[in-house]
Amino acid sequence: MTPKKPKSENSIVDVAKALGISPATVSRALNNNSRISEATRTRVKEKAAEMGYRHNSMASSLRNRRSNTIGLIVPRISMYFHAFFITSLQRQLQTAGYNLMICQSNDSVDVEKELANTLYSARVDALVVSLALYTEHIGHFDGFLRQGIPLVFYDRVPTLRTQAYVIKGDDYRGGLLAGNHLIQAGCKRVAYISGPLSCSIYQERTRGFIDSLTKYGVPFREEWTYYHELTVENAWSSLRRLFAGDVIPDGLFAANDTTAIAAVAFARERGIRIPEDLKIIGYSNDPRTAIITPAITSIEQYPNEMADKVAETLINALQHRGPSSSIVVGEPLVCPVDLVRRMTT
Amino acid sequence: MTPKKPKSENSIVDVAKALGISPATVSRALNNNSRISEATRTRVKEKAAEMGYRHNSMASSLRNRRSNTIGLIVPRISMYFHAFFITSLQRQLQTAGYNLMICQSNDSVDVEKELANTLYSARVDALVVSLALYTEHIGHFDGFLRQGIPLVFYDRVPTLRTQAYVIKGDDYRGGLLAGNHLIQAGCKRVAYISGPLSCSIYQERTRGFIDSLTKYGVPFREEWTYYHELTVENAWSSLRRLFAGDVIPDGLFAANDTTAIAAVAFARERGIRIPEDLKIIGYSNDPRTAIITPAITSIEQYPNEMADKVAETLINALQHRGPSSSIVVGEPLVCPVDLVRRMTT
DNA sequence: TTGTAGGCGTTATCAT
DNA sequence: ATGATAACGCCTACAA
């Protein structure tokens, strides 16, 4: 492939010339416009194929003022939940004739801002976002709202009120279920490792968890609670501190599965028996929780179902069907979660 | 967000009018063209910001005949290797001013074809592809070659000769290393579960593996070799057959980690001791191989390094630097692999 | 340093 | 059923 400068391609004008008809007719024929004779349509399509003509969506987008592209900003595609969400969303949007432009913020607020601007300039027809870990202000998305471009937040949604669509998991209930389950399994001294409270999902999981403990009269101990990015390294560091004292936890709620997995490894290293000495519950039902020994109890979030809701919302909004959608601005749609019991509880 | 029709936005013409200058000047000022006075540049940028002006990349792309977007077709983003590859590639392209349009073929040849067409119409400046499992003919990418649009295959590359860039892992060596390692660990009766041979990576792994056995005089047994999609279900089905007879394997090379993980689970269920009775080696060094018990020996493919090479190739090709690139058309670039020894061997 | 003008390829509108 | 025309917003010779 020698680097040659982009040879100008055949356009509909060229096809039109070759056939001795007008570009408008060619355009209509290719777009299956009804007011064109079957004969012409066939003739045009054949000629176009013969000439290697390809539709130019840049020109088409400019003319139509719509790109048929939807932007997606996600913290990281390597997170199980998001990978599955994306796959499902992409399939549905593809079917509806939209392309999905997938971008990763890498959990950086700055990158998120840049991406928002880029996608705005790219004139995406809609934007779907799951926020970075420390995003609190969402002013970088205001342009979309001002222009009436559909904006959908999912999973990690803004904590402030917004005029965008909001589709989230029932993280409060997830936290509640986790707490209830640990207590019902007999835990008296429960620890908690959470993500930062700047992030909606951890706020809610924490609320639910605390409410559960309160309901059962089990103390929520500040000194056994950690809020930090949920990496393996941070998990080990917190676990070491948790198990450094005389009194040690007999239950742990890890707000993500990476942390729960680290906890299982930690317990093994320390000779802490699971579930006898320590019960562990994670969050997201990452496939890894099922293959590790012992398999980890976790909270399922149904990424595919959430993708369904997001797709439905998008397509409704883009087709201006408006109120027929089940999701409306200002009222978050909350998707169910379930506890999946395995061997750590 | 009430569905309102897209309000027409301010263009450079509007900004120009507001300032009483020509659109050309505005365009140049915004693009930091050198031949514009500092004063004007500042005035223009301020006014543009004030008016909420946003660059329209559709118009710009049409005019410039380049989209600054690079297309990517990948079998599935949920595969560890690809997720890491993408993250790394995206970061580098972003830095270089390109957007990445990530698409999944879902291992379907038909979807792959559709995506190729869509991305062609979208006028991506370059295309990066890892092929679907059963893609043998690659004619659907010919348009890119004809138009001189840089085309890069990576990982799962065409088995036929092509004029595109080819960047692949050293799968032959991976297969060789796997075979050598099993034999050196004492295996006499080795089984093999591979992906379909339509796919370059499995072809090569198989070749390497067979060459290793041959070198050591260990028989390669057709009846202990399976070629199929490497899913959990298929793995179990093959494993059951492998261990149904009187003589059973003492070593298994699984051509991906999902299969190796399934084998560990299978062995546990059957009470087969690992590594005493059965040694297992996987492929890709998926993080899951490290957390499972026993941790699985695997072949590391260095997705980030491969992404580096792909990014370098792309940027070179896009900037017409031509021959200064270390990667040239017609000669596949082969990236190193390494064996990571763990507890299953 | 700035302005003028034409065109990138497509499609909607208005005419025939 | 088809054609002529203009416009989407931007950029860049070329002119001043």
- pLDDT per position as a tens digit, B313-345: 999 999 865 555 667 777 899 999 999 999 999
Higher pLDDT, B180 or A147: B180
Yes or no: say if A315 and A326 are a contact pair by the CB < 8 Å rule: no
pTM: 0.94
- Asked if pLDDT for residue B8 goes beyond 80, the answer is no
- Amino acid at residue number A248: I
Yes or no: say if A272 and A244 are a contact pair by the CB < 8 Å rule: no
Q: Where in chain A is the domain with CATH 3.40.50.2300?
A: 67-169+303-335, 171-300
Taking CB atoms and an 8 Å limit, are A1 and B164 in contact across chains? yes
- Asked if pLDDT for residue B2 goes beyond 50, the answer is no
The whole-number Å distance from A63's CA to C12's C1' is 9
Contact of A55 with chain B, judged by CB distance below 8 Å, is answered with yes
The pLDDT value given to residue A328: 75
Q: Using CB atoms, pick whichever of B59, B87, B291 lies closest to residue A76.
A: B87
Taking CB atoms and an 8 Å limit, are A123 and B58 in contact across chains? yes
Close Cβ partners of A120 (under 8 Å, ≥ 6 residues apart): A127, A143, A144, B54
Higher pLDDT, B320 or A316: A316
Distance from CA of B239 to the nearest CA of A (A): 17
- Asked if pLDDT for residue A75 goes beyond 50, the answer is yes
The whole-number Å distance from B55's CA to C8's C1' is 17
Range in A267-276, B26-35, B180-189, B293-302 with the lowest mean pLDDT? B26-35
- Asked if pLDDT for residue A1 goes beyond 50, the answer is no
- Asked if pLDDT for residue A321 goes beyond 90, the answer is no
Distance from CA of B56 to the nearest CA of A (A): 5
- Asked if pLDDT for residue B3 goes beyond 90, the answer is no
The whole-number Å distance from A8's CA to C12's C1' is 26
- Asked if pLDDT for residue A4 goes beyond 50, the answer is no
Q: With a 7 Å cutoff on the CB, does B28 touch strand C?
A: yes
The pLDDT value given to residue B324: 52
Q: How confident is the model at residue A32 (pLDDT cuts 50, 70, 90)?
A: very high
Taking CB atoms and an 8 Å limit, are A87 and B106 in contact across chains? yes
Q: Is B107 helix (H, G, I), strand (E, B) or coil?
A: coil
Task: Name the residue with tokens 């909350």.
Answer: A334
Please write down the long-range contacts of B109-115, taking CB distance under 8 Å and 24 or more positions apart.
B109/B134, B109/B135, B112/B73, B112/B140, B113/B140, B114/A94, B115/B71, B115/B73
Nearest by Cα to A293 from A342, A259, A253 = A342
Yes or no: say if A249 and A223 are a contact pair by the CB < 8 Å rule: no
Q: Using CB atoms, pick whichever of A61, A87, A151 lies closest to residue B77.
A: A87
* Mean pLDDT score of chain B: 94
Distance from CA of A147 to the nearest CA of B (A): 6
The pLDDT value given to residue B9: 86
Bridge partners, residue A334, by sequence = A168
Q: Tokens at residue B75, please?
A: 């079998």
The pLDDT value given to residue A2: 25
Taking CB atoms and an 8 Å limit, are B101 and A101 in contact across chains? yes
Task: Name the residue with tokens 């505005």.
Answer: B26
Query: What share of chain B has pLDDT > 70, as a percent?
Result: 96
Close Cβ partners of A23 (under 8 Å, ≥ 6 residues apart): A12, A13, A15, A16
Distances A345 to A80, A188, A240, A336, A340 between C-alpha atoms, Å = 22, 13, 21, 22, 10
The verdict on whether omega for the bond into residue B275 sits within 30 degrees of 0, i.e. cis, is: yes
- Asked if pLDDT for residue B7 goes beyond 70, the answer is no
Taking CB atoms and an 8 Å limit, are A1 and B58 in contact across chains? no
- Does the domain made of B67-169+303-335 have the CATH classification 3.40.50.2300? yes
Q: Using CB atoms, pick whichever of B54, B145, B150 lies closest to residue A143.
A: B54
CA angle B219, B225, B227 (to 5 degrees): 145
The pLDDT value given to residue B325: 61
The whole-number Å distance from B62's CA to C4's C1' is 21
The CATH code of the domain at A171-300 is 3.40.50.2300
Nucleotide nearest to A63 (CA to C1'): D8
Yes or no: say if B113 and B144 are a contact pair by the CB < 8 Å rule: no
pLDDT tens by residue, A10-25: 999 999 999 999 999 9
- Asked if pLDDT for residue B154 goes beyond 50, the answer is yes
The pLDDT value given to residue A5: 36
Contact of A239 with chain B, judged by CB distance below 8 Å, is answered with no
Bridge partners, residue B99, by sequence = B69
The pLDDT value given to residue A326: 65
Burial of B38 (0-12, 13-18, 19+ CB in 10 A): exposed
- Asked if pLDDT for residue A323 goes beyond 80, the answer is no
Output DSSP code: residue A139: G
* Mean pLDDT score of chain A: 94
Sheet holding A190-194, edge to edge: A225-227, A190-194, A251-254, A279-281
Taking CB atoms and an 8 Å limit, are A83 and B87 in contact across chains? no
- Which residues of B fall within a CB distance of 8 Å from A292? 291-293
The pLDDT value given to residue A34: 86
Higher pLDDT, A97 or B323: A97
Q: Where in chain A is the domain with CATH 1.10.260?
A: 12-54
The CATH code of the domain at B12-54 is 1.10.260
Distance from CA of B310 to the nearest CA of A (A): 15
Distances B78 to A86, A199, B205 between C-alpha atoms, Å = 9, 24, 22
Minimum CA–CA partner of A293 in chain B: B293
Kind of pairing between the strands at B279-281 and B251-254? parallel
Q: How confident is the model at residue A35 (pLDDT cuts 50, 70, 90)?
A: confident
Backbone angles phi, psi at B284, to 5 degrees: 120, -20
Instruction: Please give the Cα distance from B64 to A201 (Å, whole number).
Output: 43
Counting Cα atoms < 13 Å in the Cβ hemisphere of B58 gives: 21
Instruction: Please give the Cα distance from A171 to A301 (Å, whole number).
Output: 9
